[in-house]
Structure 1
Amino acid sequence: MDLGDSSSWSPAEVDRDKPNAARVYDYYLGGGHNFAADRAMADEAIADWPELPAIMRSNRAFLRRAVRFMVRCGVRQFLDLGAGLPTAGGVVETAPSARVVSVDIDPVAAAHGRALLATNPLVSVVQADLRDPPAVIALAGAHLDLAAPVGVLLVAVLHFVEGDASAVVAGYRDALPSGSMFAVTHATADAQPARAATHRQLYRRTALPMTMRTRAEVTALFAGLELVPPGVVEMTHWQPDPDTDQSIELAGYAAMGLKP
């Protein structure tokens, strides 16, 4: 859906001269809902790391595989945390008959989501801070059946959580019922530390600086959950589709956990 003039999806109070992580991600995916400052930052990052758009597309492809896997396991509702801009290939498009609560702290992402999804009764878009699980769960409970399993999507977002991200995940794990599933992708400096350092420096220009974590730290996020095979792996290696390009050297891990 083309929203046309940005005034229809971007609140007037938003600083369009400061790059925004959600809009930068939209640009990497080839979307049109971004501003010059976002494109300039993304182009600078791509100049140093030409594979970045492919990495972001691989991240989105993992989300689609994860959602399809959860649906096959009987999950019929999703809590999309740090949802960003609802561009093509997201959870709403992948599971069109599922109920979804889309959560983002960014007013631009929330406004855009409401504009795109206003006519979809299965989707609720809320502006909230995922670092406050009780508050988010309370909002989600107005739209989801919290007595039934929930698919929790933490895709490309926990690296924007400073401090103890494990405690954040645990807050949702403890609040949701058995059978709930958690899909995570997370940036890491394990493979390319020099490039990762430059990337972190770029994101310091946004309101959401980036914290990269090691494989062991990403694994620790799944405490109290059963890791779904193949465990914590590079994004393209998690239950790849036949046409998945696994030759790209990625800078992120992917995994899924099941609450027993």
Structure 2
Amino acid sequence: MANKLSVAFIGTGIMGAPIAGHILDAGYPVTVNNRTKSKAAALIQRGAVWADTPADAAANADVVFTMVGYPSEVEELYLAGDGLLACTKPGAVLIDLTTSSPELARDIAEAAQVSGRMAFDCPVTGGESGAIAGTLTAIVGATENDIAPVRDILATFAANICCFDGAGKGQAAKLANQVSLGACMVGMADAMAFAELSGLDLEKTRQMILGGTGKSGAMESLATKALDGDYKPGFMVEHFIKDLRLALAYA
């Protein structure tokens, strides 16, 4: 493990915990922090080290990942007087996986550069199932050259790494994804409800739609769960609404 970069992971919730688990499984030493310690318990049992504060978690880390709920939390975490830009070591790489504001991501990247660190936005898509499977898409606001030192770590949990070559552009691209996904989910639900009211065979209708231009990821994967009566959430609605509001504000 001596040649592995040390990693701090802040925010071990629905998505963060499995992502941190993949990094841990790949042999990286991982220190974790979360507002609720119990949500990090499984990671600690598997060998992660607990830290009482984000600053303690990040102090000696080569690479710091953050995955929290809202831009306000990201801003405080990074830019507060005792935030990550102040408490990490020079040369550290700071990667925010939160879906947040493109403008804030640019501010953090610029402040990091001034202080001798590198920070970039890297929101992900693929939901809880993708996080557990390690097949997420990482949407990066940096160049391939920028991420070269940490690309192997990103690959532990992301099957696809898409670089958009500039601070904040990862966030903008993720918001574009959320706009499309929102429309697809509503379209799928309305189409299936309409088919049901019309007395149609729902699976046959779904297959027919998948054969034409009405197809979508939501129709392909989420509809099958709905038809099986599986409405277990893979993402918080309030966070999706936050994403759409961010897209509206940025637009």
TM-score under structure 2 length normalisation = 0.40
The structure number with the bigger radius of gyration is 2
